[in-house]
């Protein structure tokens, strides 16, 4: 089973400073990313990650694939951390990043357990990863990242 360590990134919301309402509005507009730019950037990270994961192939009991998947997840999370959400999406985005990080850790745990031939722990970690992946998708949907809320697609080989 392949996981979409989708991967999403955690950025702090840009907040405006100032004493007047006009100054705050101007400052926020000048520094806050637009929703469209945020969605485009976030979805691109997810699409690129999706393609990398797809190229890794089907996961088996061989720990190498799980290790590569965990590494790909860490790359995607680092890329997602560069995406800046608008203030209205910041909380959901941070939640998505937190769950994506937990997902990457669970995938790494599957790898580590398989290296030790501990199939019970590997199975438990894989089950946990599946549950966390659902949380990543839910948080992505709340943040408005339409591609990131989906399961892996079937990219052409």
Domains of the chain: 35-143 (1.20.1440)
- What is the rounded (10 degree) CA torsion for 102, 105, 107, 108? 180
- Render pLDDT for 24-62 as a digit per residue (tens, 0 to 9): 333 334 455 699 999 999 999 999 998 888 888 889 999
Ranges of residues in the chain with a pLDDT under 50 are: 1-30, 154-157
């Amino acid at each position: 089973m392949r996981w979409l360590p989708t991967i999403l990134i955690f950025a702090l919301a840009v907040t405006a400073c100032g004493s007047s309402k006009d100054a705050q509005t101007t400052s926020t507009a000048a520094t806050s990313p637009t929703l469209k730019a945020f969605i485009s950037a976030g979805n691109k990270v997810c699409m690129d990650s999706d393609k990398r994961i797809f190229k890794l192939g089907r996961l088996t009991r061989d720990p190498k694939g799980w290790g590569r998947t965990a590494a790909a997840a860490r790359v995607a999370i680092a890329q997602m951390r560069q995406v800046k959400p608008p203030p209205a999406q910041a909380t959901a985005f941070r939640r998505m990043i937190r769950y994506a990080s937990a997902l990457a850790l669970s995938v790494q745990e599957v790898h580590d357990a398989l290296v030790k031939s501990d199939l019970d722990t590997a199975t438990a970690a894989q089950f946990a990863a599946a549950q966390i992946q659902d949380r990543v998708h839910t948080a992505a949907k709340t943040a408005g990242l339409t591609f990131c809320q989906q399961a892996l697609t079937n990219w052409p080989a």
